Chain A
Amino acid sequence: MASSISLSIPLCPPSNSLSTSLSPSHKPPFLQKRTQLSGFPLRAQTLDFSGSFFEGAGFGSEDDPITPGPGFTATEPKEEPQCPPGLRQYETMAVLRPDMSEDERLSLTQKYEELLVAGGAMYVEVFNRGVIPLAYSIRKKNRAGESNTYLDGIYLLFTYFTKPESITILEDTLLADDNVIRSSTFKIRKRKY
């Protein structure tokens, strides 16, 4: 049972991002003449707006590349604009222990949000994907020295804009945390295919 809890802290007024759309010229013009699917790229781009769970994205920012996030089951449209003055867009996927209670999970979420905001993050959002069986078993050692084997995990996704320096602190905290089995931090780039 996957529940999605998203907490967003918007700090900039939302703007209409649907007015600016990707120009069709990112496909080579000869391709459009050839295939009968020339209507598809345009339609797919408009679908792309609704096909993203990422609420904080818009188009046309000079500073940072934006990627419209792919769906888990992508239904939420992108509304809020990017206002990252010198900040970069990152996302962190963390896998937690499955036997954590609801309160523990919430407190952990809050702790990381505070850590992020203290490091100067904006637009912090947390998505909870629920308990998902892992593809392989993972062993993790506690502080006490005992090692447990896990076959399920709670997947959490943090998306935020922050300074590059505060990423190392976050990663170290995630590594040292006993409740987090595995974590990865990625920089979000806008990619054109």
Chain B
Amino acid sequence: MDKSKRLFLKTKRSFRRRLPPIQSGDRIDYKNMSLISRFISEQGKILSRRVNRLTLKQQRLITIAIKQARILSSLPFLNNEKRILNNEKKF
């Protein structure tokens, strides 16, 4: 568990290690929207394990849960409404 935290550190900075995003209290489940929606991007994409700072097991369970939630329409497959607005603002 410690090794996974050190893998993605390139420089030795002395900052306080932040809390792991998933404590053992919560269960990773497709119903647990508050937990699941922390690990998807704005467009609804699943974020990588590097960004999420999860262990491999947790990341796999999160991925399965997100896909289950997408089927049940709790989460979108693709969410490109905001992006179009940003493009329109530029031009």
**B-contacting residues of A (Cβ < 8 Å)?**
27-28, 30-31, 34, 37, 40-41, 44-45, 47-48, 51, 67-72, 93, 95, 132, 134-136, 138, 153, 155, 157, 182, 184, 186, 191, 193
Contact = CB atoms under 8 A, between A and B. Distances in A.
Interface stretch (B7-15, B24-32, B45-53, B83-91): B24-32
Given A40-B23, A67-B27, A95 B77 contact: no
Contacts of A68: 27
Contacts of A72: 31
Contacts of A45: 24-25
Taking each of A34, A45, A70, A134, which has the highest tally of chain B beta carbons within 10 Å of its own beta carbon?
Answer: A70
Interface residues of B, number: 28
B25 A34 contact: no
B22 A193 contact: yes
A28 B19 CA distance: 18
A154 to B, nearest CB: 12
A40 B2 CA distance: 16
B28 to A, nearest CB: 7
Contact of B71 (A40, A157, A184, A191): A184
A184 B72 contact: yes
A27 B23 CA distance: 12
B23 A138 contact: no
Nearest to B22: A193
Nearest to A36: B17
Nearest to A45: B24
A150 B63 CA distance: 26
A30 B72 CA distance: 40
Contacts of A67: 27, 29
B76 A136 contact: yes
A136 B73 CA distance: 6
Nearest to A53: B31
A189 to B, nearest CB: 10
28 contacts: A27-B1, A28-B1, A30-B2, A34-B2, A40-B23, A41-B23, A41-B24, A44-B24, A45-B25, A67-B27, A68-B27, A69-B31, A70-B28, A70-B29, A70-B35, A71-B32, A72-B31, A93-B30, A93-B31, A93-B72, A95-B72, A95-B73, A132-B74, A134-B73, A135-B75, A135-B77, A186-B30, A191-B28
Contacts of B35: 70
